[in-house]
Amino acid sequence: MRTILLTIIAAIAVVAGYAQDTQEVEIADYTLELKEDGNLSVDIDIDLTNLKVKTTQVVVLTPVIVNGDNSQELKSIAVYGRNRRIYYLRNEDQRPTTSKDVVLTARQSRDIINYSTSLYFAEWMDGCSVVLTRKDCGCCGVPSDIASTRFVERFPIEPYYPELIYLRPKGEASKTREIHGSAFVDFPVSQIVIYPEYRNNVAELAKITGTIDSVKCDQDITIKSISIKGYASPESPYSNNTYLAKGRTEALKEYVESLYHFGEDFIKTDYEPEDWAGLERYVEASSLPHKKEILAAIRSNREPDNKEWFIKSTWRDEYRFLLKNCYPALRHSDYVIEYEIRSYSTAEEIERILHTAPQNLSLEEFYILAESYEPGSDKFNELFETAVRMYPNDPVANLNAANSAILKGDYRSALRYLEKAGDMAEALYTRGALEVYMENNEAAKPYFERALERGIGQAETALQELAKSRNIVTMNNKQTNNKQQ
């Protein structure tokens, strides 16, 4: 069970005394603590300095737990006048207190009494109040006056959960996006003419045309440009590879233009005669026997033809392996399609796109739709989760998704999102909020303190609320000399 504390520092509550208009009994301080074993610890500092007890009188002070029609009295503090004390010593059966109660003489009561007890916290006590009753007994123990005051309005206090801060992403002047891909179009040896049916060209050419079609057929999308860059592998002379890389790239451009009839210079081209970077990546990830030596040769300042010859002649077995398993993949065409998506302005329109093409929405548009949902609702939380799937590395998307995960109680996902939320002040605050939700209040405070230093006003409220849960008792500048249990 979570430990719940309720501490009022330097609080004063007054109980009206018998036939007195002055304040005679004061609550100087109190702490209620719900322990992990299910017991409620009650500690009250009761100031009896001004209490006036007649010699024939007994004043009985009793804390009572009250919730609706249910109540339970705790042990009492009884202050006996001299004559009454002598009387009850001779007539124990008429005493208005029991052996468990705290018994004081009028002389002993001239101080602050530290009252302490504990009891099992029953289910009906949840949300209870605590009242201090006063019963003044005269002759024969008959109450002559009764008064009470409520000094705890509610216990346990309602759990505190910090306000979560959702950030509105910055708007985009233009929703420009790119799609990247690679195709491995085969050509007959030393040729630069495309044969669509040659080897696996049907599938490889379909990669490019399928990507173009995926955006071209969307009425909300306008293709802005296409770029193609061709690469050849390092075998054969560099000059021949230059001819092949350039010529094959132009052939691919002409093939695409023949299908779509884009305007002149719409498709931009580039080429790289030999893909040494691709070869380096492959060798780096391999377990070749002379991996380090081959990498050193690849990274050397040798001319390309000399470099290729050196590897081929020095490590013949490894070269044959690379020629078969790596070089074919170095002959590729990388393409980029740049396109622009129109903006959506209404929540209704954005919701329609959410269910058909969520990748077309900007982060700001996700936020606009979220404003139309009930905060914390399933639709609200799912929306921010979809947004972070579309923008997995965006700090704001991850921050908002972390908040939604916290509300769902999915703290593991919240931690994962916060790892990508960066070091913005709001992310510090949310890390603190997550610790509070996970019942780690002490761990939360440093995050709130840093967030407050960086201008997050909600962090000040959070620190104030957490302070109410600290197990600190101040005696209202009064000294305690007498402790009764």
175-339 classified as CATH 3.30.1330.60 = yes
How far, in Å, CA of 172 to CA of 343, rounded?
9
The tokens describing 100, both together, are 């468990």
Q: Where are the extended beta strands (E) located within 232-313?
A: 267-272
pLDDT at 141: 57
Cβ–Cβ < 8 Å for 6, 32: yes
Closest C-alpha to 7, from 27, 28, 30: 30
DSSP state of 53: -
Length of the chain: 485
The pTM score is 0.64
How far, in Å, CA of 141 to CA of 135, rounded?
10
Q: Where are the extended beta strands (E) located within 332-456?
A: 333-341
pLDDT at 192: 92
pLDDT at 345: 86
Class of domain 4-157: mainly beta
How far, in Å, CA of 232 to CA of 332, rounded?
7
Class of domain 343-467: mainly alpha
Q: Where are the extended beta strands (E) located within 109-184?
A: 112-120, 128-137, 143-155, 175-183
How far, in Å, CA of 419 to CA of 410, rounded?
15
pLDDT at 467: 79
pLDDT at 475: 30
Question: 3-class DSSP state for residue 389?
Answer: helix
Q: How high is the mean pLDDT in each 10-residue block of the chain (485 residues)?
A: 35 32 71 85 88 86 93 90 78 76 77 89 89 82 72 79 93 91 92 92 94 91 95 93 96 94 90 96 95 96 95 95 94 95 93 93 94 91 94 96 94 96 96 93 94 95 79 31 36
pLDDT at 12: 29
How far, in Å, CA of 21 to CA of 220, rounded?
81
Q: Tell me where in the chain the CATH 2.60.40 domain(s) lie.
A: 4-157
Q: Tell me where in the chain the CATH 1.25.40.10 domain(s) lie.
A: 343-467
pLDDT at 155: 82
Question: 3-class DSSP state for residue 183?
Answer: strand
| CB atoms near residue 77 (< 10 Å) | 24
How far, in Å, CA of 86 to CA of 70, rounded?
36
Residue 445 phi/psi, 5-degree rounding, is -60, -45
Cβ–Cβ < 8 Å for 470, 7: yes
Q: Tell me where in the chain the CATH 3.30.1330.60 domain(s) lie.
A: 175-339
